[in-house]
Structures are given as C-alpha cells and as structure tokens.
Amino acid sequence: MTPELRSLGVREIALDNSRADILAAAARCFMDRGYAQTSIDDVARSLGATKGRIYHHFPSKGELFAEVFRAGMDMNFAAVKPLSDLPGPALPRWRRMAMVHVLQMMVTKPFQRAVWIGVEMHLAGATTPEQRTVFNELLDYRTRYGNLFRATLLQGRDEGVFRFDDLSVTNQLMFMSLNSPIFWYSPRTGETRAQTEALAARVVAYAQGGLVFEGERAA
C-alpha cells in the first residue's frame, strides 16, 4: 500500500483541522479589518496562538489570503455547479442557482467577504510577479464561476423570461444584488433555517425583478 492511498491517520486529520481553523480565523479577520489592516498576529491571537503556527502552515500572508479566497470559491462551485449543469428552462434553474448562491453568501460570509476583498485588490500590493500569477489565477476562478450564471442569463433572454441588452452590465447588477448580504446580513440569535431561507428568497426576488423589468419607460 502506497503512502498516498493509505487512509488518514490522526496526525493528518489534526493537521487538516488546524489548517481549517486557521483559514476560518483568517477569513473572519480579513472580513473585520480588511487585508492590509489585518496582521498575522491578529489572526494568531484570535486563535489563542502565535505567528509560528501560521507560518508553519502557510508561507506568507499573501498565500494565506489566497487560500481563504480559494476555499470560498470552492464552496460556491460545489454548491452551484451541479445546478448549472441541469437541463430545462432557464428561469427555474436560475432561481435555484441564485437561491443557493445567496445562501452561500449568508452562511459562509467571512470567506465570501474575503473573495470580495480579493477582487477589489486587483492592482494592489502584489509586488512579486509570481504573486501576480497566483492572483490572476484566482480572478480567473471567479470569472469561471460568473460564467455559470451568464449562460443561464442568455438562455433566459432567448426564452423571453429575462430582458436586458448589455450582458456585462446586467451580470454586474445581478451579482451586486445577490452578493449584497455579505455586507448587511447578520444572523439573528436563534435564527431558524426557514428564516434564513426567507431572507434569501427576498434577495432572489429583488434580483429577478431587475432581470424581468421592461424598464426605461419615462416616469
């Protein structure tokens, strides 16, 4: 039996748990204070640990952030990709995709905020050209995710359920609506799953309204 195929021992599981804990703590710090304002010591302190632990698992602050970004996008892809592959008319598929996406924004908010911060940082501090390459890869990842929705939007326009002229602008507007919970949503104490979903449904309904509205009639 090769080492690669052997099942994970307690050692490996503990390692993965430690990594995952660091990622979650880092996501929360990045959400609270932004990238530049967050120090490695901040992340370590929020874990009751020190720098040594962080740098044992991640080579640099930039790489730690990149991993948080990837984790967030991985979760989005895992949730939405299966739905986007389904056949059938555009509108019900779009509604399911949008609903799952919004719920992701709410439930994994720290990671999604980190993704947002990453997109906003396009031309920021990445001094090293290799860091630049990593960053472009992350943005590509994000673009590919966006394309899942673009295809359904186009199909919906063909089917007459969506009305828009400029796909890029519409895509921006739609994502801005669907992503907005990462800025204003905060779970109520003792919030039930049904309440969370009701709120998400409101967001989806708003975005759908923007997509189907005839628009531009004079007031």
Question: In the complex, which residues of this chain contact a second copy (CB under 8 A)?
Answer: 32-37, 91-92, 95-96, 120-121, 123-125, 165-166, 169-170, 172-173, 176-177, 180, 183-184, 199, 201-203, 205-213, 215-216, 219
Residue with Cβ nearer a second copy (71 or 207): 207
Distance in angstroms (rounded) separating the CA atoms of residues 189 and 117:
27
Distance in angstroms (rounded) separating the CA atoms of residues 98 and 174:
10
Query: What residue 32 binds from DNA, a second copy, none (CB within 5 to 8 A, per partner kind)?
Result: a second copy
To a second copy, the closest distance from the beta carbon of 209 in angstroms equals: 3
To a second copy, the closest distance from the beta carbon of 116 in angstroms equals: 10
Contact 86, 155 (CB under 8 A): no
- Taken in order 130, 133, 137, 142, the sign of the CA dihedral is positive
- Contact mark string toward DNA, 9..48, x via CB under 7 A: xxxx-xx--x-------------------xxxx--x---x
Q: How many CB atoms lie within 10 A of CB 191?
A: 12
Does 61 sit near DNA (CB under 7 A)?
A: yes
Distance in angstroms (rounded) separating the CA atoms of residues 183 and 179:
8
Residue with Cβ nearer DNA (50 or 147): 50
Does 157 sit near DNA (CB under 7 A)?
A: no
Distance in angstroms (rounded) separating the CA atoms of residues 109 and 111:
5
Contact 43, 26 (CB under 8 A): yes
Binding residues (CB under 7 A) for DNA: these are 9-12, 14-15, 18, 38-41, 44, 48-53, 55-57, 59-62
